[in-house]
Structure formats: C-alpha cells, structure tokens
Amino acid sequence: MPIIRILLLPFAVLYKWITDFRNHLYDIGSRKSIEFDRFVIGVGNLTVGGTGKTPFVELLIRELMDKYHLAVLSRGYKRKTRGFRLASNHDDANSLGDEPFQYFTKFGRKIKVAVGEERALAIPELIFQDEKISVIILDDAYQHRAVKPHMNILLADYHRPFYQDHVLPAGLLRESRKHADRADVVVVTKCPNELSHEEIDDIKNHVIRYTKTKASVYFSGIKYLKPQRLFGNQSFSEDVLLFSGIANASLLEEYVDKNFNLLGHKKYPDHYSFTKKDLTELIGSFEEINSQSKCLLTTEKDMVRLISMKDEAGFLQDYPVFYLPIELYFLENGDFFTKYLTESVVMGLKDMELN
C-alpha cells in the first residue's frame, strides 16, 4: 500500500465506522426504508468514480421500455437546479445533469426521466405526474437506503475490484466491502473480451465472499460504436484529437489509440462543465496540429454537455466534432440476466397486485 494511503488509514477507519453505523441503523429499523408499490430497481456501486453505470442503465432501459411504463430517477449530479424535476424538451444538462439528460435525449419519447435529491420524496411526485408508471430505475442509488428497491444491482469495475480496495480516503470505497451483501445481482463491468473461465471463476469466488448466497454474478464489457457527428459537416477522419471529462479515461484512450490515429488527449475532470475558454484553448491545440484531415473526438457523456452550452459552444459548428457512443454487453450468460430481470419484474408486479 502506498505511504499516503497508510497515513490516511486513521481517517478511513473513522469513515468506515460512520458508514457502518448508518447502515446498521437501517438494518435494525431505526431508520426507515420506504418500499413503494412500483417495481424499483436500484443501480449503483461501492466505488467512487466510473463503473460503467450509464451504459448499464441504458441496457436496462432497452430491455424494459417496450414492456412497461418505465421511469428513470436520478439525483441529477452537478445540475444547476434543485428539487424534483420531470424532464421535458425545455431541459438540458444544466437543469438535469449530464447522465439524466443523456437518458432523456436517447429514450425520452418512450420513458419518463426525472431528477430529485431525495428519492423517497421524488418517487411519489413522479407517480403523481404519471400514475401509469410501473417500473422505476434508481440511478446511482446503492447508498440511498431511504428507498428499499425490489432489486438491488451492484456494479463492480474489473480494473478496481472492490474486494481489494479500502474505504475513503485510504481507498476508493464509499462504504465497506461487507455492504455488498445488499446486492441481489453483481455485474463486473469493463471486462476485457478475452477474459478466461479461470479468471471468471476466481473473481466470482472473491465477490461471493461478500454477497448474499443467492446473488448472481455477471460479467460485462464496453463496446464502442461508430463515431457520430456532433458539429461541422465534414467527414470523420482517422486523425483525431481526443478530449474527455470522465472518471477513468484509460480504456477510452486505449480504444482510440488502437483503432484511430490518436493525435493527443485533452483530459478534464469527471462531469466537467466546459467553459468557452476551455473550448477556445481546445480549438487552438486542434488548429496547431499539422494534418490535412483531422477531427475532434469526445465521449457521449461529454456530448450532452456540449449541446447544452448553446452560445458558448456555438463556434464549434465550424469544426469537425464527433462523439463515440457506447453500449454494455455481457461476456457470457447475458440471456440468463435478461431472463432473471424479466421474471423478477413480472413476479414483483404480480405480488403487488395480490397485495
């Protein structure tokens, strides 16, 4: 363990005690978890930073949106509004947050998207707005115990296994490893496609030490799709200047470097709100590149922030700016996950009707 983490261990012990005590209060009923008469799916992680949560939520949306009246509820991280807000055509990343706005941009005609810091208060408001809603996905809600989900899905980054990590600030865990026992399903994300059966079994054995005996473990990877035009009318060029504001850009950079001619990578913090100065400096770097044909390439999450900037990003219309859509896929047993998800929702809704 690096010396800085050793020095931070006393603070990590205090943080662990605080989060363990909070969870204990919920476990013994001193703090109440509300269970709603809609099928609620909680999605989240133990680890700070990107675990592929957004593409996983999108996978759930695609699986469920044609079968049920579906809603996605997020807290709306880094939005400039407060309280409950049901997404509409008047919203953007500033009013919703980048991830909810991405869901609304891609699926808003088929599902409801809403934001609210207090999910226990936002769910009744969401149902009041549309009483036909039968399934609600809670985005980034593993630590939000005021609502009791009917299915709790824990995402774990293959490159940062929670079972080898420590709580903040000595590590990256939001709470102790043992609280993985609340998960009904664990999905290991960002796995390499060539993951061996031996390694899969080894990871499963580590994971189930901390989970319920009935918890299923699945393995998924990230698939990058064909670059899509955001600004400009030029064709895509293999010579790309990459820019991104995501938690962990190493896989993105690796993919771009392998599949295109990577001219450079401008990195910004996760959920970064670009300024006109940032974009002006970016264009300056782009124009300095000595290449006949070149383009700017960014992520899908950064794309929704850029289209929300309107006036500040207007000058980008003259430049070839593209973004990389991504999708999550299962390495194996994806059909089993779909079957488990479908049967759980069907049985859950049926039980609610009987009660």
What tens digit of pLDDT does each residue of 119-135 get? 999 999 999 999 999 99
Note the pLDDT of residue 188: 97
Q: For the chain, give every domain's residue range.
A: 3-68+134-223+331-349, 228-324
Note the pLDDT of residue 4: 77
Name the pLDDT band for 94 (thresholds 50, 70, 90). Answer: very high
Do 191 and 220 touch, CB atoms closer than 8 A? yes
309/351: higher pLDDT: 351
What sign does the CA torsion over 183, 187, 188, 189 have? negative
Which CATH code is given to the segment(s) 3-68+134-223+331-349?
3.40.50
Mean pLDDT of 227-239: 93
Do 168 and 47 touch, CB atoms closer than 8 A? no
How many Å apart are CA 130 and CA 128, to the nearest integer? 5
Name the pLDDT band for 1 (thresholds 50, 70, 90). Answer: low
How many Å apart are CA 231 and CA 321, to the nearest integer? 5
pTM above 0.85, yes or no: yes
Per the listing, tokens 């929704």 go with 304
Note the pLDDT of residue 6: 76
Note the pLDDT of residue 271: 87
End-to-end CA distance of the chain: 52
Do 313 and 296 touch, CB atoms closer than 8 A? no
Per the listing, tokens 């664990």 go with 186
Do 243 and 224 touch, CB atoms closer than 8 A? no
